[in-house]
Amino acid sequence: MLIMPITALLQKASAIPLSVFIARATEPVALHAYYVTFSCSIFAALFNCFFGFVLAWVLVRYKFPGKKLVDAAVDLPFALPTSVAGLTLATVYGDEFFIGQALQSAGVHVVFTRLGVVVAMIFVSFPFVVRTMQPVMQEIQREMEEAAWSLGASRWKTFVDVVFPPLFPSLLTGTALAFSRALGEFGSIVIISSNFAFKDLIAPVLIFQCLEQYDYVGATVIGTVLLLISLTMMLAVNKLQSLTRK
């Protein structure tokens, strides 16, 4: 289920002459699509890294009215079809909703821009950081913090030296999962963005456009490049995780 599709894609890509592969992979449209895809995915992952950590900390450490509702709402992007997510985001940030109207009056345009791509990526990948961090936070013993306080450590120093180190590998894992999810997002982005080349066109949508034009070589080349870059980045993250644990 996992190896065969990847192998089939690589085998099909290997049948393309190297000169053709390089020429198609380095076309200006493709290079810009790579840039938009990875830059937006990295920004969305970093955003979710910080705010996902904060929300997981609040859900684990504090009790407040509506906590169960907030906790359940975190999983909403998992259950919501991505096309519905795109339609919802386009409605909320469009000119017919008060949030979109307020942003546009301030000169901030979300729909049909690169900012909309980032917003969609943040929406679909946010739960990964929260759900990865929560179980690890729940296992941290409060006695360790109390011992640090009794030895004269401040709350900030206790957090940095005692609490955060065992949380860092999980935070790295959740961020990597969020990045991977954002990188492969298609359904919501194809609705909220304009999908114009050299503007906000991402690589998954470019692959779809190639398939619509029966350009199977272009779709295979772009898909292979995306696969290789993603695989390299995930291997680097896994290596960093192993070094962190050591």
Range of the domain at 142: 26-245
pLDDT of 184 strictly over 90: no
Domain membership of residue 11 (yes or no) is no
Domain membership of residue 20 (yes or no) is no
- Could you tell me how far CA 123 lies from the centroid of its own chain? 9
98-111 average pLDDT score = 89
Q: What is the pLDDT of residues 12-65, one digit of tens each?
A: 888 889 899 999 999 999 999 999 999 999 999 999 999 999 999 999 988 889
Residue-by-residue DSSP string for 128-197 = HHHHHHHHHHHHS-HHHHHHHHHTT--HHHHIIIIIHHHHHHHHHHHHHHHHHHHHT--TTHHHHS---T
Percent of the chain with pLDDT over 70: 98
**pLDDT at site 114:** 92
pLDDT of 107 strictly over 80: yes
User: What CATH number does residue 197 fall under?
Assistant: 1.10.3720.10
Q: Note the pTM of the prediction, 2 decimals.
A: 0.88
Copy the structure tokens of residue 146: 């109390």
Considering its fold, how many domains does the chain have in total? Answer: 1
Copy the structure tokens of residue 65: 């009215």
**pLDDT at site 8:** 86
**pLDDT at site 221:** 93
Domain membership of residue 17 (yes or no) is no
Q: What is the mean pLDDT of the chain?
A: 88
pLDDT of 245 strictly over 70: no
Percent of the chain with pLDDT over 90: 41
